[in-house]
Amino acid sequence: MLTFFIRCGLILLSWSTIFLLPKKSFLKFLPVTIFSTVVLLVEDMIGRTYKLWKVKGGKRGATKNALTFIFGPFFVANLWTFHFTYGRFWVYTIFNLLFDLVFAYPLHYFLDKVGLYKLKKVKPIFLFYTAFTYSMLNYGFQLFLDKNFIIKEKDHK
């Protein structure tokens, strides 16, 4: 029952902030957020296939946890992170370093303690390295989008 309330709280809390995000930022960073969401979904499938972690409740519990995290706090946090840091690579990098460390250690230990999941074949450092690698991949993807698909104002004139 505790996990149900944690899942609901994560979804509600994260999505309640989306209305504060400017529409322009939402639309600009939605493609990179969808891209990173797909990458995380693939990681989840690989992790389940190779039994890198164990989730209480079996496949159903694993699916609920993954969808809650990926489409809740991860999705919304990705939009906010790009809104506040995009265009300032070092700020983005430092923010992601700190956030990924917090996720890999204190937050991971808390989520493990409350029974959401338990790492089996990997250590928390794996969580940090993969999350930080994804953040760099995301930044590069957004740069690629800006360079190749964003119509500049001078092109309209």
Q: pLDDT tens for the chain, 157 residues: list them.
A: 777 888 899 999 999 999 999 999 999 999 999 999 999 999 999 999 999 988 878 888 889 889 999 999 999 999 999 999 999 999 999 999 999 999 999 999 998 888 778 899 999 999 999 999 999 999 999 999 999 986 554 554 4
**Cα–Cα separations (whole angstroms), residue 111 to 59, 106, 115, 118:** 17, 9, 6, 8
Provide CB contacts within 8 A for 157, sequence distance 6+. Answer: none
Measured distance CA(6)–CA(88) in Å, rounded:
33
For 104-138, give the DSSP string: IIIIHHHHHHTTS-EESSS-HHHHHHHHHHHHHHH
CB 101 within 8 A of CB 79: no
